[in-house]
């Protein structure tokens, strides 16, 4: 209930900020706002509000040593919302505008309002439609030296479920059915089953145990299992239900005469160093695949001998713009591997957009997905 109250507060503040945007833009685009003194005052006020947002971010951990993504997303969302609220309040001190040509005034107001309502329209779509637009994404993963017995091997990946206020157990059951419909050889879960302590972890595990794959279900833990101190319980209960979480461990799987070695690690932090000792998990003569919630480990994973890495964590930024085949989203602030397939030399990584949301319950340009990955020889 506490977590739900937090999200409700964040959402209400964001909706209030979006409601005030049209009036704010009206004032900022008025001729009076061009007065140098007023502009200076607004810039100073904006600076103070942003400074308050930065203080909030520090308090919640996004700029601090913990870097907990839950608090980070909340800090960024609340910081932006409070910035709009503060500027809206201060913009009331702009003096009344002097008369100007009606046509020009109407054009400026219309342009300002269009600009102002655009974020609200995106947020509305992302909240009520985008985050429920579950898709099956099919990807061919290029693997150098892939044997004939592993050609076309199907791996279904679920990640970043965040079961809780904005992701129901019923929706997760539907997604498990979608995954089973692909008839996978292997099912993998790459972390963040929940968001925080008190979320329905047992419900998530109960749904995931129904994944059906020839070689079983393997997984790794995300930062939110660790944040909730639930990784040990999830490991024990998952094993009882038939879902094995690999915690700096590997499992060798045989398909025909070929071997696939699947290794997994807990969420990796740059502060403690990526993939320390993971080279010991690599098996010579096998295709080595790494499950890592954090995709930023990819270059090191490739150096250590992993041909394929499967990751999540970024949610594709939740709000993503694709420009010239490049993804533009907030996740690029901490990793270049935010969404989709990337290659480095002969190694590949697929970063799924995941299923749930964190912070503001919005998705736009990064629809929630179940990923079906097929190994292909190159």
Question: Does 212 share its domain with 337?
Answer: yes
Last residue of a domain, one of 94, 128, 162: 128
Question: Does 123 share its domain with 46?
Answer: yes
Question: Does 287 share its domain with 165?
Answer: yes
Q: Rounded to an integer, what distance in angstroms lies between the CA atom of residue 248 and that of residue 278?
A: 7
Question: Does 331 share its domain with 186?
Answer: yes
Question: Does 292 share its domain with 339?
Answer: yes
Q: How many domains does the chain have?
A: 2
Average pLDDT rounded to a whole number, residues 234-261? 98
Residue with the bigger pLDDT between 192 and 42: it is: 192
Question: Does 208 share its domain with 293?
Answer: yes
Give yes or no for a contact between 368 and 354, defined as CB atoms under 8 angstroms apart.
yes
Determine the pLDDT at residue 360.
77
DSSP string, 249-294: EEEEEEETTEEEEEEEEPPP-TTT-TTTTGGGG--TTSEEEEEES-
At 108-167, the pLDDT tens digits run 455 545 444 445 454 454 454 557 789 999 999 999 999 999 999 999 999 999 999 889
Report which of 261, 243, 244 is spatially closest to residue 252, judged by C-alpha positions: 261
Domain CATH code at residue 159: 3.60.21.10
**Both structure tokens of 17:** 């900020």
pTM of the full structure = 0.73
Question: Does 184 share its domain with 286?
Answer: yes
Last residue of a domain, one of 128, 156, 175: 128
Question: Does 144 share its domain with 99?
Answer: no
Residue with the bigger pLDDT between 320 and 49: it is: 320
Question: Does 67 share its domain with 213?
Answer: no
Domain that holds residue 85: 2-128
Determine the pLDDT at residue 55.
47
Q: Rounded to an integer, what distance in angstroms lies between the CA atom of residue 349 and that of residue 154?
A: 15
Residue 36 has pLDDT above 50, yes or no: no
Last residue of a domain, one of 98, 128, 158: 128
Question: Does 93 share its domain with 195?
Answer: no
């Amino acid at each position: 209930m506490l977590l739900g109250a937090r999200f409700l507060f964040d959402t209400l503040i964001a909706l209030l900020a979006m409601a005030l945007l049209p009036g704010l833009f009206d004032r900022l685009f008025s001729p009076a706002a061009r007065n140098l003194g007023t502009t200076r005052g607004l810039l100073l006020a904006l600076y103070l509000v942003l400074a308050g947002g930065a203080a909030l971010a520090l308090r919640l951990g996004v700029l601090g040593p913990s870097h907990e993504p839950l608090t980070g997303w909340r800090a960024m969302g609340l910081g932006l919302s409070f910035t709009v609220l503060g500027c809206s309040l201060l913009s009331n001190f702009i003096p009344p505008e002097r008369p100007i040509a009606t046509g020009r005034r109407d054009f400026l107001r219309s342009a300002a309002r269009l600009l102002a309502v655009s974020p609200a329209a995106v947020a509305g779509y992302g909240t009520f439609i985008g985050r429920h637009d579950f898709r099956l994404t099919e990807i061919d993963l290029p693997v150098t030296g892939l044997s004939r017995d592993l050609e076309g091997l199907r791996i279904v990946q679920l990640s970043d479920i965040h079961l809780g206020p904005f992701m129901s157990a019923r929706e997760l059951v539907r997604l498990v059915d979608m995954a089973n419909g692909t008839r996978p050889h292997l099912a993998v879960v790459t972390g963040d089953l929940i968001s925080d302590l008190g979320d329905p972890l047992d419900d998530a595990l109960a749904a995931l145990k129904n994944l059906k794959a020839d070689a079983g279900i393997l997984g790794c833990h995300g930062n939110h299992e660790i944040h909730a101190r639930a990784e040990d319980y999830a490991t024990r209960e998952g094993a009882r239900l038939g879902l094995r979480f690999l915690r700096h461990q590997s499992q060798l799987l045989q398909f025909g005469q070929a071997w696939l070695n699947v290794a997994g690690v807990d969420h990796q932090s740059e502060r403690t160093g990526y993939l320390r000792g993971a080279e010991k998990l690599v098996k010579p003569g096998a295709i080595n695949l790494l499950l890592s919630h954090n995709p930023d480990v990819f270059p090191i994973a490739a150096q250590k001998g992993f041909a394929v890495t499967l990751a999540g964590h970024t949610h594709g930024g939740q709000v993503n713009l694709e420009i010239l085949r490049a993804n533009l989203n907030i996740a690029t602030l901490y990793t270049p591997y935010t969404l989709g397939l990337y290659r480095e030399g002969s190694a590949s990584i697929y970063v799924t957009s995941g299923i749930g949301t964190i912070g503001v319950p919005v998705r736009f340009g990064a629809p929630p997905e179940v990923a079906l990955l097929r190994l292909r020889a190159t």
